[in-house]
Amino acid sequence: MIIAVDGPAASGKGTIARALARHYGLPHLDTGLLYRAVAVSVLREGRDPASEADALAACGFADSLLDDPELRTDEVGKAASVVSAHPPVRAALLERQRSFAQQPGGAVLDGRDIGTVIAPDADAKLFVKATPTIRAQRRHLELRKHGANPSLDKVLADIRTRDERDSHRSEAPMRQAEDAQVLDTSFLSIDAAIQRAIALVEARTRGAGGGAGQA
Ligand SMILES: Nc1ncnc2c1ncn2[C@@H]1O[C@H](COP(=O)(O)OP(=O)(O)O)[C@@H](O)[C@H]1O
Ligand SMILES: Nc1ccn([C@@H]2O[C@H](COP(=O)(O)OP(=O)(O)O)[C@@H](O)[C@H]2O)c(=O)n1
């Protein structure tokens, strides 16, 4: 079973994707980390995320980089959104994501274009959303936990800029797949959001004749 989970920053898609992977015993890929790895490589080289050539040159990063805590910073998130708008960068990372999705037994992937581009035939597609203010509050809390202290207003402004760039780029913009089920987590606790996600996947896969599996 392939489960695609898309949505904007801090909507809760990663939390939900990890929980679905645990529930169904499937491997999980946070595809945002791939763009973050490109971004951090560009920044460390002192190069420019807005330069297509610089970003493309950074696509051959070592897998060990995916565990680097610096990938989680806000600065890297912003640069990831810039490098991810270059079509050749998306092309360079495409095959890796597709083969992860197509592995025997299935997988859960989260990102911006999983249901539309990476796994358009996924068995279940969730589009996770929440209001920008609530997403900013969540991200603000998260950043504070990791020792950073930006103002809430700045986090909200960054989220809006990232939403705008991610939804309007030419290649694989963030958008809800036509057959995706929307999950608004604005007023759901983490546990409630996870239960709702499982119920949506169950409804979709049972309706399609099974495959929901091992839970
Ligand atoms: N339903 C929720 N209610 C409150 N906080 C949440 C909820 N879902 C996720 N969070 C928290 O919000 C932050 C961002 O969640 P995450 O799943 O990483 O979002 P995304 O992958 O969409 O960027 C995390 O600190 C997470 O624990
Ligand atoms: N499948 C994906 C995943 C991420 N991205 C880009 O990578 C950036 C960082 O993604 P992320 O999922 O790690 O970010 P958060 O939603 O966790 O803040 C996003 O703003 C997108 O620009 C993408 O273009 N396509």
* Alpha-carbon gap, residue 108 to 180, rounded angstroms: 14
Which atom of ligand 1 lies nearest, measured to the CA of 18? Answer: 17
- Ligand 1 is surrounded, with C-beta below 6 A, by 7, 9-15, 138, 142, 185, 188-190, 193
Q: Could you report the per-residue pLDDT of 73-83, keeping only the tens digit for each?
A: 889 999 999 99
Check residue 103 and give its pLDDT. Answer: 97
Question: DSSP assignment, residue 123?
Answer: S
| Separation of CA 92 and ligand 1 centre (Å) | 28
Residue-wise pLDDT for 23-58, tens only, equals 999 999 999 999 999 999 999 999 999 999 999 999
Residue spans of the domains in the chain: they are 2-205
CA distances from 23 to 16, 27, 164, 199 (A): 10, 11, 33, 12
Residue type, 166: D
> From 3.40.50.300, 3.20.20.70, 3.40.50.1110, 3.10.20.30, which CATH number describes the 2-205 domain?
3.40.50.300
* 15 annotated binding-site participant: yes
Residues contacting residue 24 through CB under 8 Å, at least 6 positions apart: 1, 3, 106, 108, 201, 212, 213, 214, 215
Give yes or no for residue 4 having a pLDDT over 80. Answer: yes
Distance in angstroms (rounded) separating the CA atoms of residues 207 and 91: 34
CA dihedral 4, 8, 14, 20 (to 10 degrees): -40
- Could you give the percent of the chain with pLDDT greater than 70? 96
Does position 211 have pLDDT exceeding 90, yes or no?
no
Q: Is 125 annotated as a binding residue?
A: no
Atom of ligand 1 nearest to the CA of 16: 17
Instruction: Judge whether 25 is annotated as a binding position.
Output: no
Q: Tens digit of pLDDT for each residue in 146-159?
A: 888 899 999 999 99
| Rounded Cα distance, 48 and 206, in Å | 47
- pLDDT score at 207: 64
**Mean pLDDT throughout 188-192?**
98
> Given the DSSP bridges, would you call strands 28-30 and 181-184 parallel, antiparallel or unpaired?
unpaired
Which of 31, 133, 138, 183 gets mutated to test ligand 1 (max ligand atoms within 8 A of its CB)? 138
